[in-house]
Amino acid sequence: MSYIEYDMVIGLEIHCELATKSKIFCSCPTTFGAQENENVCPVCLGLPGTLPVLNRSVVDYAVRVGLALNCEISNYSKMDRKNYFYPDLPKAYQISQYEKPICENGYLDIELEDGSTKRIGITRIHIEEDAGKLTHAYKSTFIDNNRCGVPLIEIVTEPDMRSAYEAEAFARKVRSIIQATGSSDCRMQEGSIRFDVNLSIMPKGSEVFGTRTEMKNLNSFRSLVRAVGYESRRQEDVLLDGGEVIQETRRWDDSKGMSVSMRSKEDAHDYRYFPDPDLVPIVLTDEYIAHMRDTLPELPDAKLRRYTEKLKLSAFESRQLTSESEITEFFEEAIRHADAKSVANFIIVDIFALLKTDEEDFSNLKITPLQLAELINLVRDSVISISASKKVLSEMYRTGEDAKTVVDKLGLMQVSDASAIETIVRKVISDNPKSVEDYKGGKTQAMGYLVGQVMRASKGKANPKIVNELVNRVLNE
Partner 1 sequence: MQPYEMTANQLKQAIKTRELSCVDVVNSFIDRICGADKHINAYLTTCFEAAMNNAKMHDDITVKGEDMNNYLAGIPYSLKDNIITKDIKTTASSKILENFVPPYSAHVYENLTSSGAILLGKVDMDEFAMGSTCENSSFGTVKNPYDLSRVPGGSSGGSAAAVAAGMCAFSIGSDTGGSVRNPASYCNLTALKPTYGTVSRYGLIAYASSLDQIGPVCRDIEDVALVMNVISGKDERDSTSTASPHKDYTSYLTEDIKGMKIGIDMNLIETGLDKEVRRIYLETINKFKELGCEIVDLSFDMQKYAVPVYYLVACSEASSNLARFDGIRYGTRHTAPTVEETIRLSRTNGFGKEVKNRIMLGTYALSAGYYDKYYSQALKVRRLISEDYNNALSECDLYLCPTNPDPAYKIGEKNDDPMSLYLADIFTVTANLTGTPAASFPAGFTSDGLPVGMQLSAMSQREDLIIKAIYSFQKNTSYHTVRPEI
For partner 1, the closer of residues 83 and 163 by Cβ is: 83
Q: Min. distance of Cβ 133 from partner 1 in angstroms? A: 15
- Rg from Cα positions in the chain: 30
- Look at residues 170, 269, 176 and name the one whose alpha carbon lies nearest to residue 228: 170
Applying CB under 8 A, among 279, 284, 289, 474 the residue interacting with partner 1 is: 279
474 lies in the site for partner 1, by CB under 8 A: no
For residue 471, which amino acid is it? V
Considering only residues 249 to 278 of the shown chain, the ones binding partner 1 according to CB under 8 A are 270, 272-274, 277-278
Beta partners for residue 213, in sequence order:
199, 248
Applying CB under 8 A, among 8, 11, 28, 52 the residue interacting with partner 1 is: 52
Residue 437 — left, alpha, or beta (φ > 0 → left; ψ -120 to 50 → alpha)?
alpha
Contacts of 343 (CB under 8 A, 6+ apart): 331, 334, 335, 372, 373, 376
283 lies in the site for partner 1, by CB under 8 A: no
Q: Exposure pattern of 359-375 as b/e (b: 16+ CB <10 Å)?
A: eeeeeebebebebbbbb
246 lies in the site for partner 1, by CB under 8 A: no
Q: What angle do CA 303, 66, 164 make, to 5 degrees?
A: 75
Contact (CB, 8 A) for 415 and 462: yes
51 lies in the site for partner 1, by CB under 8 A: yes
# binding residues, partner 1 (CB under 8 A) = 27
132 lies in the site for partner 1, by CB under 8 A: no
151 lies in the site for partner 1, by CB under 8 A: no
Applying CB under 8 A, among 92, 349, 353, 420 the residue interacting with partner 1 is: 92
**CA 390/CA 346 separation, integer angstroms:** 9
Cβ count near 260 (within 10 Å): 10
Stretch that binds partner 1, among 91-99, 337-345, 363-371, 461-469 (CB under 8 A): 91-99
Q: Min. distance of Cβ 274 from partner 1 in angstroms? A: 6
Applying CB under 8 A, among 21, 31, 38, 53 the residue interacting with partner 1 is: 53
83 lies in the site for partner 1, by CB under 8 A: yes
47 lies in the site for partner 1, by CB under 8 A: yes
38 lies in the site for partner 1, by CB under 8 A: no
For partner 1, the closer of residues 12 and 62 by Cβ is: 62
Applying CB under 8 A, among 50, 308, 405, 432 the residue interacting with partner 1 is: 50
Applying CB under 8 A, among 90, 132, 159, 300 the residue interacting with partner 1 is: 90
411 lies in the site for partner 1, by CB under 8 A: no
CA distances from 99 to 78, 94, 125, 149 (A): 8, 14, 12, 20
Q: Min. distance of Cβ 403 from partner 1 in angstroms? A: 51
- Look at residues 98, 105, 110, 102 and name the one whose alpha carbon lies nearest to residue 122: 105
- Look at residues 352, 371, 369, 348 and name the one whose alpha carbon lies nearest to residue 361: 352
Stretch that binds partner 1, among 50-58, 107-115, 217-225, 421-429 (CB under 8 A): 50-58
Give the DSSP H or E segment for 425: helix 418-431
- Look at residues 406, 425, 405, 409 and name the one whose alpha carbon lies nearest to residue 417: 425
Applying CB under 8 A, among 85, 140, 189, 286 the residue interacting with partner 1 is: 85
Which residues contact partner 1 by CB under 8 A?
42, 46-54, 81, 83, 85-87, 90-93, 270, 272-274, 277-280
